[in-house]
Amino acid sequence: MGIFDKLQPLAAARRALAEKGVKSINVTMEEVLSPTEAVINGRRTILVGTNNYLGLTFDAGCIQAACKALQEQGTGTTGSRMANGTFAGHVALERELADFFGCRGAIVFSTGYVANLGMLSALAQPGDVILLDADCHASIYDGCRLGGAEVIRFRHNDVSDLEKRLRRLGDRAANALILVEGIYSMLGDRAPLKEIAAVKRQYGACLLVDEAHSVGVLGNRGRGLAEEVGVEESVDFIVGTFSKSLGAIGGFAVSNHPELELIRYASRPYIFTASPSPSTIASTRTALQLLRTRSELRTRLWENARRLYQRLSELNFRLGPEVSPIVAVRLPNPEEAIFLWNGLLERGVYVNLVLPPATPDGGALLRCSVSAGHTPEQVDRICEAFTSLRETAQTAQTIGTVTSPPARGGSV
């Protein structure tokens, strides 16, 4: 077998997509106009697939802070945190993150993906046990593989299945690490974290929550699902990203365990990855302050989320199980998803096209993520584009309609 032969199925899949009119699902934004608009294929397009939840990518304060750091400290660190890549800004951001979450310590990573790789590969190694929700993000699965721990999946958001698997571990349960997410990235549903925390306490296990999509979105102070349901004291580690609500790139972990500091010396992704650039750190620090002080951004985000979810529900699209800034339009097959995705793009609306095997239930979906930056008029235009496609499609009565209860399970 040639080294490239394994890629031929991917080539065949791309050809099949091209035959359906999809040149690439990785569209090029020729010009970015604002947090919510860009020029795509020469057309001014509303962006509703960017995870830019608070709309901070064009905030004047964030841009000013980034420019100042760029001028004073240069374009990059050119080294890892353990070598020459720890600047004063990295230390300050870690201190500010720890203060924001009310935790003893924090570690900043180069991306959210690297944060999961770095934390999980250091925390759980051969001989340890991980119990993870089946719908956890790919970075969580990859972090588990990198560490070499035994991995046991439990059914998505099924607390009784988690408890059963912990019970079967016997004495090993006290050394197990449970992994869940605050908001799951495909369907926008939340973990039953209060119940999971109770099971965790019952068996003495550790609990890590990936709050990538819930920081800035949930909780009175925007700290995520753990804050919203009142179980922060039961969560051992929180992992998150700067590339959603904070409008930049990077990742972090916070914890009250003093051993968090030792992760720096045990995590290969942390030790051997160049650290974030000074401009990225500066804009993130400013965005974190805005997250703390401008609660109206969260209010506006949820107004937009409820507006879009309700309107699409009224159109009888099959959606994710609950209102969320991630509004997933669930479709039974790729052909219908591609038809709608192309039609939306032609009408100046960009959403994420997600096809199997990335979907939780083997179907297909259009993943919308709203922002505090969207105006009510933009949300209405998004809904009008969906309405137009519903009315003009030959299969108008069947595309994406609710025919059965939402399926659960699967992995992303």
Whether 2 is covered by a domain: the verdict is: no
List pLDDT tens digits, range 240-257.
Answer: 999 999 999 999 999 999
The answer to whether residues 287 and 304 belong to one domain is no
Which of 270, 293, 316 lies at the terminal end of a domain, its last residue?
Answer: 293
Whether 258 shows a pLDDT value over 60: the answer reads: yes
Whether 206 is covered by a domain: the verdict is: yes
Range of the structural domain that residue 21 is part of: 10-47+295-392
Whole-number Å distance between alpha carbons of 207 and 150: 16
Whether 399 shows a pLDDT value over 70: the answer reads: no
Whether 65 is covered by a domain: the verdict is: yes
200 catalytic? Reply is: no
pLDDT of residue 408: 33
Catalytic residue among 244, 283, 324, 371: 244
Residues 29-46, mean pLDDT to the nearest whole number: 97
Whether 171 shows a pLDDT value over 90: the answer reads: yes
Per the DSSP assignment, residues forming a β-bridge with 32 are 38
pLDDT of residue 402: 43
The answer to whether residues 248 and 336 belong to one domain is no
The region of weakest confidence among 44-58, 156-170, 385-399 is: 385-399
- First vs last Cα of the chain: how many Å apart? 28
User: Measuring CA to CA, which residue among 137, 93, 104, 140 is closest to residue 121?
Assistant: 140
The answer to whether residues 135 and 200 belong to one domain is yes
pLDDT of residue 394: 44
pLDDT of residue 129: 97
Whether 329 is covered by a domain: the verdict is: yes
The answer to whether residues 67 and 213 belong to one domain is yes
Angle made by CA atoms 212, 218, 224, in degrees to the nearest 5: 50
Q: Percentage of residues in the chain with pLDDT exceeding 90?
A: 85
Let me know how long the chain is. Answer: 412
The answer to whether residues 212 and 133 belong to one domain is yes
Whether 405 shows a pLDDT value over 50: the answer reads: no
The answer to whether residues 19 and 116 belong to one domain is no
Catalytic residue among 110, 185, 255, 324: 185
Whether 412 shows a pLDDT value over 50: the answer reads: no
- Pairing status of strand 37-40 against strand 31-34: antiparallel
pLDDT of residue 218: 98
234 catalytic? Reply is: no
- Pairing status of strand 352-354 against strand 364-369: antiparallel
- Pairing status of strand 150-154 against strand 129-133: parallel
Which of 233, 265, 293 lies at the terminal end of a domain, its last residue?
Answer: 293
List pLDDT tens digits, range 341-363.
Answer: 999 999 999 999 998 887 887 78
CA 405 to chain centre: 25
Whether 405 is covered by a domain: the verdict is: no
Q: Is the whole-model pTM more than 0.75?
A: yes
Residues 363-384, mean pLDDT to the nearest whole number: 96
Whether 52 is covered by a domain: the verdict is: no
Whether 72 shows a pLDDT value over 50: the answer reads: yes
Whole-number Å distance between alpha carbons of 64 and 259: 36
The region of weakest confidence among 35-39, 68-72, 335-339 is: 335-339
Q: Which amino acid is at 11?
A: A
Average pLDDT, the chain: 93
The answer to whether residues 100 and 207 belong to one domain is yes
List pLDDT tens digits, range 183-199.
Answer: 999 999 999 999 999 99
Catalytic residue among 156, 213, 267, 324: 213
pLDDT of residue 22: 75
Which of 256, 271, 293 lies at the terminal end of a domain, its last residue?
Answer: 293
The answer to whether residues 173 and 316 belong to one domain is no
Output 403 or 263, whichever has higher pLDDT: 263
pLDDT band at 299 (very low <50, low <70, confident <90, very high): very high
For the chain, how many structural domains are there in total?
A: 2
244 catalytic? Reply is: yes
